[in-house]
Homo-oligomer: A and B are copies of this chain.
Amino acid sequence: MSTTPLPTTDSTPARPDTGTSLTPSFSPLYRQIKGLILNGLRLGEWKPGEVIPSEMELATRFHVSQGTVRKAIDELAAENLLVRRQGKGTFVATHAEQQVQFRFLKLVPDCGTPGSEGPAQRDIIECRRARASADVARALALRTGDAVLQVRRVLSFLGTPTIVEDIWLPAVAFKGLTAERLASYQGPTYALFETEFNVRMVRAEEKIRAEPASNGREQLLKVAPGTPLLSVERIAYTYKDVPMELRRGLYRTDTHYYHNALS
């Protein structure tokens, strides 16, 4: 437990205004509490995998009832930022120690379940500093020419190269990332980002297309040129919707498929 509470810690949240302002129109107490907890997460008061204070403790700290804290945590848990465990406490979500090894990878084998093929073999093709092109800069909310790290790697399942992807990261936030570091780390890349660079990916958006293999990708994936591949462009965001990664992947879909649940 932190003995030096943050400035946000003991602030008494303002009671919701009576709706005289027009634009936000109304902001319930529990949303303000949610914001305060979010700040704690963003500022690293509690790190991925750690417990946050109990509901009662947060309630007295914020001068609200337990039920209000509960509703705030409910929303954060629904967004996968927190994980509740009955009898133990509420924990900051993490990409490590998750039952699902790749939370954001929706490619599953035709036969078997996600992960039934064992851990993917990852080969780092390259990892170098570069300057952001116009579209990379736009995706990462940088300016054209800003320093970025560019990684290319191949993922193989059961010995078959299945995914080749290029990853762009803002160099400022990922100083010291090397191919060796990437290759030697066991576990999800996003878990490495958490522990080594204090960057937690919270959500992502993907744009999916079909495109023919070309530009040397066909060799990396060992398919004929022109073979249709899934093109998956992903932008991953940290807290507060800050984009921190651009990823362009090409997936073979002859033995795997991209799975999506609609509701």
A interface vs B, CB < 8 Å? 78-80, 103-104, 106, 202-212, 226, 228-231, 234, 251, 253, 257-263
B259 touches A205 (CB 8 A): yes
Q: Is the CB of B210 within 8 A of A228?
A: yes
Min C-beta distance of A240 to chain B, whole Å? 14
* Nearest-neighbor residue (CB-CB) of A103 within chain B: B262
In the complex, what residue of chain B is closest to A260 when comparing beta carbons? B206
A135 to B207, CA, bound (A): 29
Q: Of B204, B211, B226, B257, which is within 8 A of A209 by CB?
A: B257
Indicate whether A257 sits within 8 Å of B226 (C-beta atoms), given known contacts A80-B263, A263-B79.
no
Q: Are A209 and B79 in contact (CB under 8 A)?
A: no
List the B side residues contacting A209 at CB < 8 Å. Answer: 230, 253, 257-258
Do residues A208 and B261 form an inter-chain contact, with CB atoms below 8 A?
no
Q: Which residues on B sit within 8 Å (CB–CB) of A226?
A: 226
Question: Are A206 and B253 in contact, with the CB atoms below 8 A?
Answer: no
Report B-chain residues with C-beta under 8 Å of the C-beta of A234.
262
Residues in B with CB closer than 8 Å to A229 are 210, 228
Q: How far is the CA of A251 from the CA of B210 in the complex (A)?
A: 9
Q: A226-B226, A229-B228 are in contact. Are A262 and B104 (CB under 8 A)?
A: yes
A-B contact pairs, 9 of them (CB 8 A): A106-B262, A203-B263, A206-B261, A207-B259, A208-B258, A209-B258, A210-B211, A210-B229, A210-B251
A257 touches B104 (CB 8 A): no
Are A228 and B211 in contact, CB atoms less than 8 angstroms apart? yes
